[in-house]
A and B are shown apart, each in its own frame.
Chain A
Amino acid sequence: DIQMTQSPSTLSASVGDRVTITCRASQSISGWMAWYQQKPGKAPKLLIYKASSLESGVPSRFSGSGSGTEFTLTISSLQPDDFATYYCQHYYIYPLTFGGGTKVEIK
Chain B
Amino acid sequence: EVQLVESGGGLVQPGGSLRLSCAASGFIFSDHYMDWVRQAPGEGLEWVGRSKHRRENYATEYAASVKGRFIVSRDDSRYSLYLQMNGLRTEDTAVYYCTWSRGGPNYNMDVWGQGTTVIVSS
Please list the residues of chain A having a beta carbon within 8 angstroms of any beta carbon in chain B. Answer: 1, 32, 34, 36, 38, 43-46, 49-50, 53, 55, 87, 89, 91, 94-101
Contact = CB atoms under 8 A, between A and B. Distances in A.
A49 B103 CA distance: 12
Contact size class for B? 20 to 34
B44 A46 contact: no
Contact of B97 (A32, A43, A53): A43
Interface of B: 35, 44-47, 50, 61-64, 97, 105-115
B73 to A, nearest CB: 18
A91 B61 contact: no
A89 B35 CA distance: 14
Contacts of B50: 94, 96
